[in-house]
Amino acid sequence: MLGYIIRRVVAAILVVIISSMFVFAIFFLGPTNAAAVICNQNGRCTQERQALLEHSLGLDQNVVPAYGEFAKGVFVGRTISTGPGAHYDCSAPCLGISYVTKEEVTELLKDKYPATLSVALVGGVVYLFLGCTLGILAAKWRGTTTDKLLVGSSLIVSSIPYYLVALLAWLFLVNEFNLFPKTGYFPITDDPVKWASGLLLPWLVLGVANSPQYARFGRGSMVETMSEDFIRTASAKGLPRNKVLFKHGLRAAIVPIITIFGLDLAALLAGTVFTEKIFDIDGIGKWGLEAIPVDLPVIAATVLVGAVLVVAANLIVDILYSFLDPRVRLA
């Protein structure tokens, strides 16, 4: 198993490096000139001033040395020019200086990530629990009216775009009828009650909107597992149906669901863009969205974080396989 883990870690590092190169090249070589946008903010932009800004931001370099400087800063830090005659010593891990706010991207990331973490973790648990519960119940009552109602309702919910569900929930439940408190992120260390109340509706919307796919996956996995030989053997020994279902069947059926959940959770941790934007939560998803197309260091940082989380989730899920299902062994 150790050799497998080492190979996967090396592959994960290569994926992160290639992803960062790809994103850096796209935005560095893109049609939008960040220096021109920044220069025109005060309405007194000249060609000379724009050229100075391009030079100070490193936008007049070739993409290869520019990426080399960025990669160097991640490991050892670097000195960054923030304007004509202005320099900033950025310590490792340095992800650059925001073109817009002139603040260190790493520090901004630390400030904004707790909001994304709060939304993703609790929201993920809600839709995993809700979806798996509905899926198990549908499998238990397979072929009955209850099964058909659960499957049918999950299809209806999943057919509605998530952003529409979130927007309507915010408009009516918060603004129109005041059934939920004002949404937003408030640090849990300052006021745990306010933290929970500000994120309650986003958690519920995220959970309800994403639970149907887990209900379908859960039902399908449970139905398949309940037809296995070891389940029939357990039933033949006279074990109670619920014990066979939950103790023996669920453990094997949960493996493919964990795979999907691991990747979905990594995507949420990389930024819940629609949720943060609609519910006015100042996390990295909303931050990265607002950085497009000007603030290259912010965009590169959010993509790099997302790549790390996704490849780490893949590795963790693969290792968990062997513990969740005895039939699976890593070579």
Same domain for 179 and 232?
Answer: yes
Same domain as 142, residue 88: no
Give the pLDDT band (50/70/90) at residue 83.
low
Last residue of a domain, one of 75, 104, 133: 104
Lowest mean pLDDT among 80-84, 110-114, 128-132, 231-235: 80-84
> Which tens digit of pLDDT belongs to each residue from 41-52?
666 777 887 787
113 lies in the same domain as 88: no
HEC string of the chain equals CHHHHHHHHHHHHHHHHHHHHHHHHHHHCCCCCHHHHHHHHHCCCCHHHHHHHHHHCCCCCCHHHHHHHHHHHHHHCEEEEEECCEEEEECCCCCCECCCCCCEHHHHHHHHHHHHHHHHHHHHHHHHHHHHHHHHHHHHCCCCHHHHHHHHHHHHHHCCCHHHHHHHHHHHHHHHCCCCCCCCCCCCCCCHHHHHHHHHHHHHHHHHHHHHHHHHHHHHHHHHHCCCHHHHHHHHCCCCHHHHHHHHHHHHHHHHHHHHHHHHHHHHHCCCHHHHHHCCCCCHHHHHHHHCCCCHHHHHHHHHHHHHHHHHHHHHHHHHHHHHCCCCCCC
Whether residues 114 and 40 fall in one domain? no
Residues 53 and 91 placed together within one structural domain of the fold = yes
Does the pLDDT at position 330 exceed 60?
A: no
Q: Of 50, 80, 104, which marks where a domain is finished?
A: 104
Q: Looking at 38-47, 92-101, 137-146, 207-216, which range is the least confident one?
A: 38-47
The pLDDT tens digits of the residues spanning 209-231 come to 999 989 888 888 888 888 888 88
Statement to judge: residues 122 and 90 lie in one domain: no
Residue 184 shares a structural domain with residue 299: yes
188 with 128, same domain? yes
Q: How many domains does the chain have?
A: 2
The pTM (predicted TM-score) of the whole model is 0.84
Any domain includes 117: yes
Question: Looking at per-residue confidence, does 38 or 227 come out higher?
Answer: 227
The residue among 205 and 6 whose pLDDT is bigger is 205
329 within a domain of the structure (yes/no): no
- 185 and 214 inside one domain: yes
The whole-number average pLDDT for the span 60-71 is: 84
For residue 45, the enclosing domain spans: 2-104
Final residue in a domain of this structure, among 104, 132, 160: 104
Q: Is pLDDT above 60 for 73? A: yes
